[in-house]
Structure 1
Amino acid sequence: MAIAKLNTKYPEIEADGLTYLYGVKVDRKWFFFDGPYLAVPREFYQKDTSKPLSVEILKSIAMEEIFRGYLKKNKQSGELEINDGFFASLTGNGGCADCKTQAQWDSVYLATVRENWKNRDTSTYHPLQ
């Protein structure tokens, strides 16, 4: 999923953006987490950079930049549909070649998340004054 973020708080920044939102289902529970933020300079899409981009423009950018691998066009209808091939590496044996059950895969996935959490950046950042 993507969350459109219209910048109305900082008028000196002439950009809006999209935040990736990921979800994974483990043990019949959904876990959601933020992914990268895609900054979108207004000057690339409109002349008046003092106004936020429209939701339609951000949706179009999300479809091209964020969902490109997740979705594909149906050959008969031309409509977008989920690209199951993209997700096969995430839900099949992509993360665990030896896994035989969903519980084993869940365990490997959660171990990876725990390892990533241990290696996170814990620096304290101070905004520019």
Structure 2
Amino acid sequence: MKKTNILLLTIFLFSCTDFIIEKFDYKRKSIEKIGIENYKHIFTNLKDTFNLWILNSLPSIEAERTYLYNLDSLLCFNNDKNRFISCRHLYVNINDATSDDLQFLYGEKINNKWYFFKGASISVMRSVIKNQPKNTPLSYQQLHQTALDVVYSGYLNEKGEINEDWFTENFEGSGWGDFNNQPSIDWILEGKRFTNKKDFFEFLHLTVVKNNWNGVHKDSIKQLPSKNNNIP
């Protein structure tokens, strides 16, 4: 099973037009693939999901309930339009903090429904950002530009095409479990066995989504107003 890892990285940002061009390339490519209305709809669902998690005080959302956060505006969709990778910004606004945080966010469409789950975290040291006060949180744009380099950089290959290997690594990498050695994660599968990778990894992803709600009784789940009543 893939676990959230804290990766302490030395990040260098360069204020140059290449970052802006790259951002537009990623977003344009993603919107070309999924369509602008679908893009907006899925991003709204992602925001609503975070609001629902916070409303119900889920353990996995403790950081977002403690500090200011934002969802990055970029969603990178795959060719099959059933997976995306994005990230969450965390602004650690306490006096002795010297870093902020990015966290991978994953979306997957399973049985015609989108599910969202979190991945690895990346600590971004403020000290490597030119002229950045070490006790002042980074801005949205600073973290977004960092994300272009350390989160999204694998999205397109050298030809500007969507890199499916990047999605496979994130959604089916060794951290999730070995399809060819399913007994090794029997503590998750509990005797269940799969004959194809699609069902195997979808089961593992849905297990993460389900475990996100551990400790919350179904009858006590607080709902967002109106249309947001069935968000995982």
Residue number in structure 2 paired with 1:41: 125
TM-superposed deviation, 1:46? 3.3
Structure 2 counterparts to residues 83-98 of structure 1, below 5 A: 83-87=163-167
TM-score of the aligned structures, taking structure 2 as reference length: 0.38
Query: Which of 193, 200, 203 is residue 108 of structure 1 equivalent to?
Result: 200
Task: Name the one with the larger helix percent.
Answer: 2
Aligned residue type for 2:118: D
Aligned residues: 108
Q: Which runs of 5+ in 1 are unaligned?
A: 76-80, 118-129
TM-superposed deviation, 1:116? 7.2
Matched, 1:28 2:112: yes
TM-superposed deviation, 1:45? 0.6
Percent identity between matched residues is: 25
Residue number in structure 2 paired with 1:123: none
The CA RMSD measured in Å over matched residues stands at 3.6
Query: Which of 146, 151, 154 is residue 69 of structure 1 equivalent to?
Result: 154
Aligned residue type for 1:56: Q
TM-superposed deviation, 1:50? 2.0
TM-superposed deviation, 1:55? 1.8
- Specify whether residues 73 and 60 from structure 1 end up closer, same or farther in structure 2 by C-alpha distance, changes over 3 A only: farther
TM-superposed deviation, 1:82? 3.4
Structure 2 counterparts to residues 50-61 of structure 1, below 5 A: 50-61=135-146
Task: Write the distance in 1 (CA, Å) between the matches of 2:129 and 2:203.
Answer: 42
SS at match of 1:87: helix
Deviations 1:42-80 (A, max 9, x none): 0011341122112222111101111111234655xxxxx
Aligned residue type for 1:24: E
Task: Write the distance in 2 (CA, Å) between the matches of 1:116 and 1:52.
Answer: 30
Q: Which runs of 5+ in 2 are unaligned?
A: 1-85, 173-178, 181-194, 210-232
- Specify whether residues 56 and 115 from structure 1 end up closer, same or farther in structure 2 by C-alpha distance, changes over 3 A only: closer
Task: Write the distance in 1 (CA, Å) between the matches of 2:91 and 2:112.
Answer: 34
Task: Write the distance in 2 (CA, Å) between the matches of 1:116 and 1:59.
Answer: 26
Moved over 6 A (4+): 114-117
Higher relative contact order (CA 8 A, sep 6+): 2
